[in-house]
Structure 1
Amino acid sequence: MTVKSDAVSKPEKVAVRQKKIKGPGGENDDQTLDLEDELLERRLFKKGQKYPTPPLGDGTRAFYESLLEENPHSPIAIKFCLEHGIFGERKHEQLRILYNELRDNGILNAPVGGLTLQTKHAPA
């Protein structure tokens, strides 16, 4: 009896994906981002970071930073700042601990439209 192996050795092709970046006039510039640059950027992500860090002038970033400053336990601010890697390593690690607590308690899985408090009712 022979066993077929699914791992047939074939030469792997590594394709370089290029994106054209539009210039200020709507024309395509000669600048391109290849797959290696994207992979390098991904390796620089912090633990728990899913998306690239927005620039300092980004309005969404400013909103969530100020929200977190006003309410340090805001679930949406914690989630955004952690997933976008807004802060340095020390603050990022503190946010990651809070994020994991919120996730474990089910607060981040709340239905859309607001948070609901889950209370345990004693049988009457």
Structure 2
Amino acid sequence: MGNGKTKKNRALKLTAALFVIAAAAGGYYYISSGKTEIQYKTSPVTRGDILSTIQATGTLNPVETVDVGTQISGTIKELYFDYNSRVKQGQLIALMDSDTQAAEVAQYEAALASARADVANVKAELDVAA
């Protein structure tokens, strides 16, 4: 009975030893196969300009957002800035086409002149009636 347990222990120890040796060999192969030989590239020293390039991706967020509105509506004649341009207070952003407003002013001036003529006619009629 004791002899069977000894053989079983030896077989188990031998199997464990073979497993450890196989694992060590596999680990060594895995580690050594990933290494490449270091290669150096040399060139003669020269003088020249240093160029630097920066590339980035992402979203830009403004420090301050301003809502821009108009008091008049119409056609834009000239636009001095593009979308997302940096502007300062007091800068002219766009020039409106003033033809429409000039026509409205002329129309209101004509209406004013007509109203003044009507007032003059009513005064004249009152003077005649009095």
TM-score by length of 1: 0.21
More helix by share: 2
Structure with max Cα Rg: 2
TM-score calculated relative to the size of structure 2:
0.21
